[in-house]
Amino acid sequence: MQADDRAIVEQITAGSGPVQRRALAKAITLLESTRPDHRARADEVLDALLPASGKSFRIGLSGVPGVGKSTFVESLGLFLIARGHRVAVLAVDPSSSLSGGSILGDKTRMERLAAEPCAYIRPSPSGGTLGGVAEKTREAMVACEAAGHDIVIVETVGVGQSEVAVAGMTDLFVLMQLPNAGDELQAIKRGVMELADLVVVNKADLDPAAAIRAQSQIASALRSYGSAGHADRDASGALAWTPPVLCASALDGTGLDDFWGEATRYRELANAGGGLDRRRHRQDQAWMWERIESGLRERFRDHPAVREALPAVSGEVRAGRTAASVAARRLLDLFH
């Protein structure tokens, strides 16, 4: 490992204050880089940081733009710092993968939280596929944990596949909802709802009665799905959990106590008997295979013999002269 990279690792794991913060920022920039020489260095840094990682509570948070995610994360972050925690906030933003622009990262967000020495906020990396952006966020999470952040919040915009990616890298997945649940519920895919370990109906201050109505509608929808959030996807199936639906006002900070109480209860339940560790091992394995498959697809498309043969073979399939499965086997045979 290069001497300056070793210094970065030491400053992250043993340093503190502004020195550690700068080192953390440098490491994450390196991890996000797409240059091949940077990637080789980044892999070494990542492996060196890995033993010091894994000790945080990983919370995923999703909801439509405007639901109050950044307001909630800021209130929650300040609430947790006041209780002695160190909080990191990362983002997986599908808009940054599609356009290079970012719904989550562009606005000046969470200024009060950003000013806290115990907080670290990193906007979403831009460009690349959603898988690539999510991968970088996972790696940034390792770096933040190695720096001693014991709570990592991964935020995403609830507009697509990114919820699945975020649920797949966190211990607790939280869905934020607006109080007009009747209409909203239509818009949220059942699949996304079922990912939630906990639902927060935000902006309850605007119309408390509507918030309570939304709370009971969402709770009954979850019951009818038989939803159990992450617990559904645990092979052990040992965790009996009905995702709670809470009302909150991110603006006033009401509901944070309740939220943290439920989050902690969840963590303890999921952790009993090493359940959380097992889940993380499964997440790592799933992620590894997801990355292998997407890497293979890229290499396949870039392979010279495949590139040369692809137009003709595709044409044969289109013309009905070759079966799709035969074409696939022929192309795969060219890929060594």
Distance (Å, whole) CA 131 – CA 137: 10
User: Rounded to the nearest 5 degrees, what angle is found at the Cα of 94, between the Cα atoms of 90 and 95?
Assistant: 105
Q: Is position 258 an interface residue for ligand GDP (rule: CB under 6 A)?
A: no
Q: From the CB of 156, what's the least distance to ligand GDP, in Å?
A: 10
Q: From the CB of 107, what's the least distance to ligand GDP, in Å?
A: 7
Distance (Å, whole) CA 276 – CA 239: 10
Q: Is position 60 an interface residue for ligand GDP (rule: CB under 6 A)?
A: no
Confirm if 197 and 212 have CB atoms less than 8 A apart. Answer: no
For 118, other C-beta atoms within 10 Å of its C-beta total: 19
Confirm if 104 and 123 have CB atoms less than 8 A apart. Answer: yes
Cβ-based neighbours of 254, under 8 Å, separated by 6 or more = 204, 205, 248
Q: From the CB of 73, what's the least distance to ligand GDP, in Å?
A: 8
Q: Is position 102 an interface residue for ligand GDP (rule: CB under 6 A)?
A: no
Binding-site size for ligand GDP (CB under 6 A) equals 15
Which parts of 192-251 interact with ligand GDP (CB under 6 A)? 202-203, 205-206, 249-251
Q: Is position 255 an interface residue for ligand GDP (rule: CB under 6 A)?
A: no
Q: From the CB of 155, what's the least distance to ligand GDP, in Å?
A: 8
Closest CA to 139 of 37, 12, 235: 12
Distance (Å, whole) CA 5 – CA 41: 8
Residue in the shown chain whose Cβ atom is closest to ligand GDP? 68
Q: Is position 257 an interface residue for ligand GDP (rule: CB under 6 A)?
A: no
Among 13, 56, 71, 177, which residue sits at the site for ligand GDP (rule: CB under 6 A)?
71
Confirm if 171 and 234 have CB atoms less than 8 A apart. Answer: no
Which residue's CB is nearer to ligand GDP, number 63 or number 275?
63
Q: Is position 162 an interface residue for ligand GDP (rule: CB under 6 A)?
A: no
Q: Which residues bind ligand GDP (CB under 6 A)?
A: 63, 65-71, 202-203, 205-206, 249-251
